[in-house]
Amino acid sequence: MDLAVDAARLLSRLEELGRIGATGDGGCARLALTDEDREGRDLVVTWMRDLGLDVQVDAIGNVVAVREGREAGPPVMCGSHVDTVATGGIYDGNLGVLAGLEVLETLASAGVLPRRPMAVAFFTDEEGARFAPDMLGSLVYAGGMGVEEAYDLVGIDGARLGDELARIGYLGSLPCPGLVPHAYVELHIEQGPVLEANGEVIGAVTGVQGISWQEVRFGGQFNHAGTTPMAYRHDAGFAAAQAAVAARALARDLGPPQVATVGKLDLRPGLVNVVAGASALTIDLRNTDGDMLAEAERRMAAEIDRISGDEGVTVERRQLARFDPVEFDERIVGLVEETARAHGHRVRRLPSGAGHDAQMLARRCPAGMVFVPSAGGISHNPAEFTSPEHLEAGANVLLHVLHRLAEEDVLS
Ligand code: GLV
Ligand code: MN
Ligand code: MN
């Protein structure tokens, strides 16, 4: 079948959605459950309703839009997220949702009604940048966290998640965990450099690396920067700086694929002439190997103990997110690879460095992902870019993978 998406329509929707929360430098900021997130959600829901889909909101604010099939039963689902980090681009997450919508519209306009129902979803708070953990909505959808526990999460701005969900009008009635799809496939930008560097157009994603996020707080003594001899200090700022250096050294010593990031660092009181009496930093550790990730966590914990002991500061730790590595369903990985080849694209199997909703759906049903290249490997940055040709290629691979899953018994 030579069905193909309308790439211009997909691109114009991506650009329209990207104007909501636009940061003026090509990027957008729609942190989860903010007014900007609501506006983005509302626009996508309007498009879903315009297509005549059955749109439902669940108890954690995930939105699932279903198109009936020739037969009843669990839908073949696709989707992603429409929240962004504060320095987000217009593609991360949004592509998966709008390409899913585009797939459903393409089938509808061609008068194709597959055997199974098809659904496109967007999941709440995938980024975890305001409310940790990341992939929160899909985690709750998959039954990995209860809704009450999720409602009580407190954001970086002190807001309670349940209150914010109600405030923006997305506290829905559909229960969680949600319905178990027949299969789930998510199109996403790679957000890394591998496909572009190798001249490949499509990634058949084999899985997602394990993620460990923690917040570490050091408590020292505020004191005068001029009068306090170095030996008298209990400097929480110095402890935080050492922890950041230790995280970097840890990744260097363990070697690839270990990565380590300190993305947030606060010093109190944050004044030029006061020794910091309190500090807080986040540490993001990731590895495709679960044992290596656990080893990285152990080494990091030991370093933090050593640093706090040496500097005479207290330490408190809070786990913000912890997910083991995930492997996607081999039949879906193979189907993505085969479909991409059949469309004449160079394709590579690769693991995902970023977290994705698909890793949570994989707990409930066969799941997989399609990647398209990210120019320069740049993401979580307004300069994030994927060429229109690559967007089109990815959306067409998604179309044909979903159509096969909706029509055939690929998974039996
Ligand atoms: C979230 O999606 C992440 O990978 O940080
Ligand atoms: Mn994403
Ligand atoms: Mn992201």
pLDDT single digits (tens) 297-343: 999 999 999 999 999 999 999 999 999 999 999 999 999 999 999 99
Contact 410, 404 (CB under 8 A): yes
Kindly report, residue by residue over 115-163, the tens digit of the pLDDT. Answer: 999 999 999 999 999 999 999 999 999 999 999 999 999 999 999 999 9
pLDDT at 375 over 90: yes
148-206 pLDDT per residue, tens: 999 999 999 999 999 999 999 999 999 999 999 999 999 999 999 999 999 999 999 99
> What pLDDT score does 1 carry?
56
Among 83, 203, 58, residue whose Cα is nearest residue 143:
58
Q: Are 284 and 215 spatial neighbours (Cβ–Cβ below 8 Å)? A: no
For residue 303, the model assigns a pLDDT of: 98
pLDDT band at 40 (very low <50, low <70, confident <90, very high): very high
CA of 224 to the centre of ligand 2 (A): 44
Q: Would you list the domain boundaries of the chain?
A: 7-209+326-407, 214-323
- Residue 45 alpha carbon to ligand 2 centre in Å: 19
CB 122 within 8 A of CB 92: no
138 CA distance to ligand 3 middle (Å): 14
pTM: 0.97
Residue 213, CB-side half-sphere exposure with 13 Å CA sphere: 16
- The torsion angles phi and psi of 188, rounded to 5 degrees, stand at -150, 155
Shortest-distance atom of ligand 1 to CA 284:
5
Q: For residue 93, which ligand has an atom nearest its CA?
A: 2
CATH superfamily of 7-209+326-407: Zn peptidases (3.40.630.10)
CA of 97 to the centre of ligand 3 (A): 13
Q: 375: which residues sit within 8 A by CB, 6+ positions away?
A: 196, 385, 386, 387
Task: Tell me how far the alpha carbon of residue 209 lies from the centroid of ligand 3, in angstroms.
Answer: 14
Q: Which ligand is closest to the CA of 188, given by its number?
A: 2
354 Cβ closer than 6 Å to some ligand 1 atom: yes
* C-beta of 127 in contact with ligand 1 (< 6 A): yes
Distance of CA 94 from the midpoint of ligand 2 (Å): 8
Evaluate: CB of 284 within 6 angstroms of ligand 1: no
How far apart CA 24 and CA 14 sit, in angstroms, is 16
CA distances from 182 to 283, 357, 364, 406 (A): 36, 16, 9, 8
- Would you say the CB of residue 190 lies under 6 angstroms from ligand 1? no
Contacts 24+ apart (CB under 8 A), 105-110: 105/6, 105/9, 105/51, 106/3, 106/4, 106/5, 106/6, 106/399, 107/3, 107/67, 107/399, 107/403, 108/51, 108/52, 108/67, 110/3
Q: pLDDT, tens digit, for every residue of 57-68? A: 999 999 999 999
Query: What mean pLDDT is predicted for residues 231-254?
Result: 98
CATH number assigned to the domain covering 214-323? 3.30.70.360
Tell whether ligand 1 has an atom less than 6 A from the beta carbon of residue 125: no
**Which residue's alpha carbon is nearest to atom 2 within ligand 1?**
355
